[in-house]
Amino acid sequence: MKKKGFKGHLIFATVCVVTLVCALNFVLYSAAYKSQSEQIYDKITKSVEASLQKKVEQQAIALSHILSQQAFNPLYHYNVSETLHLLQTNLSQPNVEVIQIIDQEGLIFHDGTPDIVSFGLPHKKPELIEQVLTTGGTIKRHEDNLLLVAAPIAEQDNFIGVVYLELNKHSLINEVNNSAQQLSTLGQLDSERMNRWQLLFSGVGLICGIAMAYSVASSFANPITQIIKQLKQTRDGRFEPIEQSAPYQELDSLVDAFNEMQHSVSKHNDHIQHMAFHDQLTGLPNRFRFIQLVDDHIAQNQDQLLALLFIDLDDFKFVNDNYGHHVGDDVIKQVCARLNRLLDEPLLAPHKDKVLLSRVGGDEFILMVPYTRDIRITAIADTVLKAIIEPLDLQRFKLSCNASLGIACYPDFGTDADTLCRNAELAMFEQKQKGKNAYSIYTREMDKAVEERLYIEQELRKAMDDLSQFELWYQPKFDIKSRSINGAEALVRWNHPTQGYIGPDKFIPVAESTDLILTLGEHLIHLAAKQASIWRQEYGQHFYIALNLSPRQLHRQNLSQLFKEVLATYELPGSSLHVEVTETLLLSDSAKIKTVLSDLRNLGLKVWLDDFGTGYSSLSYLQEYQFDGVKIDRSFIFCLSPENENTSLIEAILSIAESMGMNSVAEGIETEHQLALLNQLGCKLGQGYLISRPLPVEEFDKSNETITELA
């Protein structure tokens, strides 16, 4: 047999070595490629999932912060209708399943349904609510396919409740699954193409094969690496597309799909950002964004004088309740348009590009105006009030709108936006107490009023453990003709252990703005009933005691059950207790109020309308609520004097009451002349300093003996 030559052996050996190397290279490289691809695709899937999940969390947290700010005033003032409007507006957003407002006690204040089916019920996540109320921070939690977010409703560390949201993650899960499916399909296509390339390169030498494999691997890895890089930037909020194209159609498709996803996420993020920082109705910056912009302006223009005008529309709740929220929204938009047009006024035009306008609440705006020493801020305030007071054209009718303004100036009364806003708001509240449709400029004394209110609230909370500090003083109600005492109105007095007697005008508004009025009110009802049982034995079975009811008692307390128990405890008929409500109390949730008052009348209690003639629609309330009597406001009685005997308005009230079968009481009688005129007009009952001031029990008994002797 002829031996093979060296050349043949070398060729054979080289062929064997090259074949073996190529085969090993093919097997090992395929396995390595598969492992690397799986790791890369897994990273992409996890990055996409993390990015989308963060997007949903950002949306939920942003929405919770918006609702936390917007729900403060409605929850604080127990405004059910505005809260309903706020929740229904946001429940229509994508992915939002549940929005609930929870009060400080962990009870559901509103669930976004018209009937508030879960009102007053404990929340299903009490530990989550408790954690938010304790820490004051926003908490998010993932459970199954839901994202739960709870955020405090607070202002100036005044925590009054929690906003709770549930967002479904169906769209997130679907996007992640779609991305994973797409990546899996592309990975399979890539693997098949890689195998074909490897078979082609197997016939080439080891060096060429390695080089070619490296080149192919690089061509596959670079686009995927770029995608991973861009996903990391997406996580940081930068949504930039991949500009370079991939060498293969499948990778091109992957890059295109990624760029489309980036574009979609970017648009959605921009929308969320706009929602988080702007009012949806007017498009104006919200309070959070406004504070950012003002702080930025101050940082860049520290020597520029600024004025913040806090604008609150007067009686806007009346518009919503009586004309509907669609009319209220129209009013807000028209007022916004007018405020924007003010930028062309001579006072504002020089700084037009620096003026900022924000809507910070349902009926509240803030205007930031740069100014110079030669411009009077009061002139700007007058211009704003004049623009708002012009009648609004609401298609079917015209409506006049007033506003109360509070003004705080930089740098005199604040060097940052938050302080300026707070001080301007304090000035606005001060003006509302003085009188509406005007303005007040912030002064340091207003801080003292806030401190006093906080002190009163703290002391009230302490006093709930010692209710004996609260006393009832009684002012007689008498027959005008005979001056005989028929009953008395119970008026609360607070005998503070160190401060002495604190006037009801100081602590009643604070108690009514919190749930303290519920505890205090129940205590006072028991005191009045106990005293009524004593005095009915002394003065006759006709004697009665009248109590004033607060809005919070009517809304939050089971008054019919409470009075039923009290009457049974002291063995009293219902007619021994009268209750008085004001017209302003009737402006909200009329169905609820009507039911409560009807239940009280069914127990035999007499229901009176207090301060009659000072509200909006007194006659309509008389017809709707079927009161037993009306109290003629003291302002009408005060005007009666020998120089002014115009009694036409009082005559009209007495005539209306008589025609509807109701009694009437004239309060605030201070002179014999007033008493004589009221007697001539046929008014039967009276109340006022002429007969007696409010007195404690012991002095009331003595005073009654004196009055009886004089009669």
Domain segments of the chain: what residues? 6-50+173-277, 71-168, 287-443, 452-710
Instruction: Identify the pLDDT of residue 8.
Output: 46
Poorest-confidence range of 36-45, 136-145, 398-407?
36-45
Of 691, 669, 689, 693, nearest to 681 (Cα)? 669
Q: What is the pLDDT of residues 533-543, one digit of tens each?
A: 999 999 999 99
Please state whether the predicted TM-score (pTM) of the whole model is above 0.85.
Answer: no
Residue 246 has pLDDT above 60, yes or no: no
Instruction: Identify the pLDDT of residue 407.
Output: 95
Instruction: Identify the pLDDT of residue 710.
Output: 43
- Please calculate the CA angle 81-84-88 and round it to the nearest 5 degrees: 145
Residue 686 has pLDDT above 90, yes or no: yes
Poorest-confidence range of 5-14, 314-323, 606-615, 625-634?
5-14
Pairwise pLDDT comparison (350 vs 212), residue with the higher score? 350
Contact 273, 90 (CB under 8 A): no
Poorest-confidence range of 317-331, 501-515, 624-638?
317-331
Pairwise pLDDT comparison (244 vs 445), residue with the higher score? 445
Residue 40 has pLDDT above 60, yes or no: yes
Q: What is the pLDDT of residues 382-401, one digit of tens each?
A: 999 999 988 888 877 788 88
Q: Which fold has domain 287-443?
A: Alpha-Beta Plaits (3.30.70)
Residue 237 has pLDDT above 80, yes or no: no
Residue 350 has pLDDT above 90, yes or no: no
Look at the block and give the residue holding tokens 């229509």. Answer: 92
Instruction: Identify the pLDDT of residue 226.
Output: 65
Contact 693, 489 (CB under 8 A): no
What's the average model confidence in pLDDT over 103-110?
87
Of 547, 520, 521, 518, nearest to 532 (Cα)? 547
Residue 600 has pLDDT above 70, yes or no: yes
Contact 47, 231 (CB under 8 A): yes
Q: What is the pLDDT of residues 15-31, one digit of tens each?
A: 566 677 667 766 776 66
Residue 203 has pLDDT above 50, yes or no: yes
User: What percentage of the chain reaches a pLDDT higher than 90?
Assistant: 36
pLDDT band (50, 70, 90) for residue 655:
very high
Pairing relation of β-strands 305-313 and 158-168? unpaired
What's the average model confidence in pLDDT over 671-690?
94
pLDDT band (50, 70, 90) for residue 672:
very high
Pairing relation of β-strands 606-612 and 629-632? parallel
Helices (H) and strands (E) in the chain, counts: 23, 21
Instruction: Identify the pLDDT of residue 95.
Output: 79
Of 513, 531, 534, nearest to 523 (Cα)? 531
CA distances 208 to 25, 192, 200, 213, 216, Å, are: 12, 21, 11, 8, 12
- Please calculate the CA angle 474-702-688 and round it to the nearest 5 degrees: 40
Contact 308, 370 (CB under 8 A): no
Interior/surface letters 359-372, b for 16+ CB within 10 angstroms, e for the rest: bbbbbbbbbbbbbe
3-class secondary structure for 59-108? HHHHHHHHHHHHCHHHHHCCCHHHHHHHHHHHHCCCCEEEEEEEECCCEE
Distance (Å, whole) CA 358 – CA 336: 9
Distance (Å, whole) CA 241 – CA 255: 9
Beta-carbon-side half-sphere exposure of residue 447 (alpha carbons within 13 Å): 9
Contact 361, 70 (CB under 8 A): yes
**489 sits in which H/E element:** strand 485-496
For residue 411, say if its preceding peptide bond is cis, omega within 30 degrees of 0. Answer: yes
What's the average model confidence in pLDDT over 125-131?
87
- The end-to-end CA distance of the chain, in Å, is 157
What's the average model confidence in pLDDT over 76-104?
85
Instruction: Identify the pLDDT of residue 250.
Output: 60
Distance (Å, whole) CA 641 – CA 613: 20
User: What percentage of the chain reaches a pLDDT higher than 70?
Assistant: 77
Q: Helices 249-277 and 206-235: crossing angle, nearest 10°?
A: 10
CA distances 335 to 281, 439, 628, Å, are: 12, 17, 41
* Number of Cβ within a 10 Å radius of residue 164: 25
pLDDT band (50, 70, 90) for residue 357:
very high
Contact 108, 124 (CB under 8 A): no
Contact 404, 431 (CB under 8 A): yes
Distance (Å, whole) CA 479 – CA 589: 35
Residue 440 has pLDDT above 50, yes or no: yes
What's the average model confidence in pLDDT over 241-258?
62
CA distances 79 to 152, 357, 589, Å, are: 18, 25, 9
Tell me the CATH class for 71-168: alpha beta
Give the chain's length: 711
Residue 101 has pLDDT above 60, yes or no: yes
Pairwise pLDDT comparison (630 vs 375), residue with the higher score? 630
pLDDT band (50, 70, 90) for residue 12:
low
Residue 608 phi/psi, 5° resolution?
-115, 145
pLDDT band (50, 70, 90) for residue 597:
very high
Paired tokens of 507 = 């602590």
What rounded mean pLDDT belongs to the chain?
82
Instruction: Identify the pLDDT of residue 5.
Output: 42
Backbone torsion region of residue 81, taken as left when φ is above 0, otherwise alpha when ψ lies between -120 and 50, otherwise beta: alpha
688 Cβ contact partners less than 8 Å away, ≥ 6 residues apart: 634, 637, 666, 667, 668, 669, 670, 674
Residue 358 has pLDDT above 50, yes or no: yes
* Number of Cβ within a 10 Å radius of residue 255: 21
Distance (Å, whole) CA 496 – CA 469: 6
Paired tokens of 52 = 């989308």
**361 sits in which H/E element:** strand 356-361
What's the average model confidence in pLDDT over 152-173?
82
Tell me the CATH class for 452-710: alpha beta
Residue 546 phi/psi, 5° resolution?
-100, 135
Distance (Å, whole) CA 330 – CA 281: 9
DSSP SS3 for 294: helix
Pairwise pLDDT comparison (13 vs 656), residue with the higher score? 656
